[in-house]
Amino acid sequence: MNWDETGSETDEPTGPVLDDRLVDADADGEDTAVEAALRPKDLDEFVGQEKVREQLDLVLKAARARGATADHVLLSGAPGLGKTTLSMIIAAEMNAPIRITSGPAIQHAGDLAAILSSLQEGEVLFLDEIHRMSRPAEEMLYMAMEDFRVDVIVGKGPGATAIPLELPPFTLVGATTRAGLLPPPLRDRFGFTGHMEFYAPAELERVIHRSARLLDVGIDADGAAEIAGRSRGTPRIANRLLRRVRDYAQVKAEGMIDREIAAAALKVYEVDARGLDRLDRAVLGALLKLFGGGPVGLSTLAVAVGEERETVEEVAEPFLVREGLLARTPRGRVATPAAWAHLGLVPPTHGAKGQQGLFGA
Ligand SMILES: Nc1ncnc2c1ncn2[C@@H]1O[C@H](COP(=O)(O)OP(=O)(O)OP(=O)(O)O)[C@@H](O)[C@H]1O
Ligand SMILES: [Mg+2]
């Protein structure tokens, strides 16, 4: 019972220390400033995501050949994998203007009506964080997507009338980090859904070489591989680590990045060979050293590292789980053998607690 102590509600915001986390996949201020310069401009320049790229290429080519507006596109995937980038590429490939807005920015159906009614024919409407749109706006969007029409409601109460408004054909590109939160009627109205995957190290190496060229930094193959391995499968993180390594190289090594420089720089920034940062290692370290690998409850683990439960659960754990270093079991958090190996520790031999936790004592 109460194994992960989900009953206790602590809604404390996470501390400011986490805002400048180097391995956070969300964009920070500096990212936003430089990302525009690093964004690939067309499908050929867009690295990886072979399946999405190939399918999208067909959708866009076919639309172009028909002289028609492309079908609505939904892009889903974790932060920093290239959803915004791809939406801009869609507009560029269709030779169409793009209007950018986001779910949270659309509070009322009227906000959406204003945007929709001002679209040009063939324009791409990029709706970021589409899962966070308000309900009434969402319902208006259904009709707009399907029939290129909206009903503008004038007046209130029994006297209210709906005035139909024809819209020019447009392409909606929706992006979401939480595809599961989209209501099925909305999901069904997209002609094409692209699921963005985490990138393979070799793909991230290509991203890094490309960005290094644009930033005018020298880097060799080993240097790029070293950064790629620590980038958590995410181009945004790869670009951010590259910028920090560049700083280090400028100050300490005449600007050229090789494996040694990359590793030394990322040691300074406490990003380890697998992309774990100080917080990740603290969580893993406590689990192994204080609790013999678990199982241990989330609250206990959080207290042990001096962080909020939410921080441990939402900031540190997802990547540890993804990497197969930590498992969430009904009896608590458990370290995997890979976790012991990664921190260079030897698991207790007799009655390994982790095993008991996983399979029941
Ligand atoms: N396939 C790719 N090839 C090269 N660079 C990429 C690729 N995907 C993403 N990037 C780079 O990563 C950065 C982040 O990408 P982008 O902003 O498109 O992510 P996102 O999925 O929209 O993230 P969020 O969910 O936070 O909005 C961009 O600056 C871009 O340069
Ligand atoms: Mg984005």
CATH fold of 49-195 reads Rossmann fold (3.40.50)
Q: How far, in Å, CA of 94 to CA of 88, rounded?
A: 10
Report residue 28's pLDDT band, with 50, 70 and 90 as the boundaries. Answer: confident
Burial bucket for residue 28 (CB in 10 Å: 0-12, 13-18, 19+) = middle
Beta bridge partners of 183: none
Q: Which of 176, 209, 181, 208 has the alpha carbon at shortest distance from 193?
A: 176
Regarding the domain delimited by 278-359, which CATH topology (the fold level of the hierarchy) does it fall under?
Arc Repressor Mutant, subunit A (1.10.10)
Is CATH 1.20.58.220 the classification given to domain 201-268? no
State in Å: Cα 86 to ligand 2 middle. Answer: 9
Question: pTM of the predicted model, to two decimals?
Answer: 0.87
CA distance 341 to 344: 5
Query: How is the chain split into domains, by residue range?
Result: 49-195, 201-268, 278-359
- DSSP E strand stretches across the chain: 73-76, 98-102, 124-128, 149-154, 161-166, 171-176, 192-195, 218-219, 256-257, 326-329, 332-335
Q: What's the pLDDT tens digit per position in 102-149?
A: 999 998 888 999 999 999 999 999 999 999 999 989 999 999 999 999
Q: Which residues line ligand 1 (CB under 6 A)?
A: 26-27, 35, 38-40, 46-49, 79-85, 177, 207, 235-236, 239
At CA 216, angle to CA 95 and CA 251, rounded to 5?
A: 145
Q: Which of 80, 69, 81, 44 is nearest to 173 (CA)?
A: 69
More confident residue, 159 or 237: 237
pLDDT digits (tens, 9 = 90+) for 45-92: 999 999 999 999 999 999 999 999 999 999 999 999 999 999 999 999
* Ion ligand 2, residue ranges at CB < 5 A: 83-84
State the amino acid at position 249 in one-letter form: A
| Joined tokens for residue 327 | 């498992």
Binding site for DNA, by residue number, is 309, 328, 333
Known active-site residue 84 = yes
For residue 173, give both structure tokens.
């590109």
Percent with pLDDT over 90 in the chain? 77
Residue 4 pLDDT: 41
Beta carbons of 135 and 181 less than 8 angstroms apart: no
Mean predicted lDDT score pLDDT of the chain: 89
Q: Nearest Cα to 232, choosing from 264, 275, 273?
A: 275
Higher pLDDT, 15 or 130: 130
